[in-house]
């Protein structure tokens, strides 16, 4: 297959972003994370800061925790009052994700990309996780925060990722059925996770 996309969902502190960057370097393909916000802003004409703020609004919304608006692919037009709604900001990010999948091989971090590209044959969906203790140890070495503070931060961020995923997909973020590969980075280490994904690419796409 000439083009392929690797989507990576990850628990906070598991190293999923690092693994994505390593794959990008070793495969020689682009890596997209928060770059998607800029690309969606350029495409829609909506200020990039609104995309960045949308996640924070959803975090604080009670409705977000009990409702859902499963992504169906529509874009709300500029003449609508909902043009700059959180849901339409997600729609534009999804539009960019699809355009990338149509035009190049790449790696996409988060943003429910595995679901957005659910009808694409050229996608490898990866979930990276690690035991809580390992995630805490990893993050403690990167910050000046205590283990208790880090544990609370992990719980908060993973809950938001789970709620965000549920809201836009109707699915359970940690359900293995959503992914082609679920990798425990603590058991394998980052490079072996990379090697497994590369081997899977070779086997699946020959």
CATH number at residue 81: 3.40.50.300
* Residues 6 or more apart whose Cβ sits within 8 Å of residue 7: 107, 108, 109, 113, 114, 117, 123, 124, 125, 126
Cβ count near 34 (within 10 Å):
12
pLDDT of residue 8 exceeding 60, the answer is yes
Q: Quick one: average pLDDT of 42-57?
A: 74
pLDDT per residue over 146-173, tens digit each? 999 999 999 999 998 998 899 899 999 9
DSSP β-bridge partners for residue 13? none
Instruction: Tell me the C-alpha distance between 48 and 37, whole Å.
Output: 6
pLDDT per residue over 15-36, tens digit each? 999 999 999 999 999 999 988 8
Write down the pLDDT at residue 97: 94
Q: Taking the CA atoms of the chain, what radius of gyration do you get in angstroms?
A: 17
pLDDT of residue 56 exceeding 90, the answer is no
Write down the pLDDT at residue 75: 82
Strand 123-129 and strand 181-184: the pairing is parallel
- The values of phi and psi at residue 50, to 5°, are -65, -35
Q: Quick one: average pLDDT of 174-188?
A: 96
- Does 43 or 9 have the greater pLDDT score? 9
State the chain's mean pLDDT as an integer.
89
Cβ count near 72 (within 10 Å):
7
pLDDT of residue 184 exceeding 50, the answer is yes
pLDDT of residue 55 exceeding 70, the answer is no
pLDDT of residue 88 exceeding 90, the answer is no
Q: How confident is the model at residue 38 (pLDDT cuts 50, 70, 90)?
A: confident
Domain that holds residue 113: 5-205
Q: How confident is the model at residue 62 (pLDDT cuts 50, 70, 90)?
A: very low
pLDDT per residue over 98-142, tens digit each? 999 999 999 999 999 999 999 999 999 999 999 999 999 999 888
Apex CA 113: angle with CA 107 and CA 117, to 5°? 100
HSE (CB half, 13 Å, CA atoms) of 98?
18
DSSP β-bridge partners for residue 106? 5
pLDDT of residue 65 exceeding 70, the answer is no
Write down the pLDDT at residue 66: 54
Task: Give the total number of structural domains in the chain.
Answer: 1
């Amino acid at each position: 297959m000439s083009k392929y996309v690797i989507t990576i969902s990850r628990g906070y502190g598991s190293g999923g972003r690092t693994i994505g960057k390593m794959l990008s370097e070793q495969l020689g393909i682009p890596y997209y994370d928060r770059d998607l916000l800029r690309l969606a802003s350029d495409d829609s004409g909506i200020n990039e800061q609104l995309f960045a703020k949308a996640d924070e609004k959803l975090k604080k919304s009670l409705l977000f925790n009990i409702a859902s608006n499963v992504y169906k692919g529509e874009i709300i037009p500029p003449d609508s009052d909902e043009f700059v709604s959180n849901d339409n900001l997600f729609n534009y990010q999804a539009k960019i994700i699809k355009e990338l999948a149509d035009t190049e091989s790449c790696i996409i971090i988060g943003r429910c990309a595995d679901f957005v590209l659910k009808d694409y044959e050229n996608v490898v969906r990866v979930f990276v996780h690690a035991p809580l203790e390992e995630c805490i140890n990893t993050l403690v070495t990167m910050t000046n925060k205590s283990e208790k503070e880090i544990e609370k931060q992990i719980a908060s961020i993973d809950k938001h990722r789970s709620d965000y995923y549920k809201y836009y997909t109707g699915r359970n973020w940690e359900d293995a059925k959503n992914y082609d590969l679920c990798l425990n980075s603590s058991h394998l280490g980052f490079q072996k996770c990379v090697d497994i994904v590369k081997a899977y690419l070779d086997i699946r796409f020959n």
